[in-house]
Amino acid sequence: MSAILNQTKSEFLVDTLIEQLNDQWKVNAIESGHDTYYQVEADFGRKYIKLMTYLVSGGERKHGRSAYMFVENNTGACYKPASVKAPAKGIRFYVEQLTENPTICDQYGGFLYLR
């Protein structure tokens, strides 16, 4: 309970977004008759919250993770990953926007590209 009280707003919103995405993607896979789907987890750092995706197949987690998105802890700004360790330049969204409308997010991070 004390961990929840010490969360920043961005950390809370990221946890909420992850729960929404994981539920949505699992339900979509099951309804489509697939047993393979992506899930998201967070690595909380001092400056950035790094969201990572991993593959689930047959109910079991597969090896390997990919950088999905970086969220700036202070502002909630979301960035496309430039690598596993660093975000690309340019804010793409704010975590509040994504939490309010999680359907913006696709499993592959295509929504983070500039158009």
In sequence order, the 6+-apart residues with CB closer than 8 A to the CB of 89 are 79, 82
pLDDT for 5: 65
User: Three-class SS of residue 77?
Assistant: strand
Phi and psi at residue 25, to the nearest 5° = -70, -35
Q: How much is the pLDDT for 2? A: 41
Parent domain of 7: 2-112
- What share of the chain in percent tops pLDDT 90? 87
Low-confidence ranges of the chain (pLDDT < 50): 1-2
How many whole angstroms separate alpha carbon 13 and alpha carbon 76? Answer: 8
pTM for the full predicted model: 0.90
Q: According to the model, what pLDDT value does residue 3 have?
A: 55
Here the tokens at position 57 are 């197949």
Q: Total structural domains in the chain? A: 1
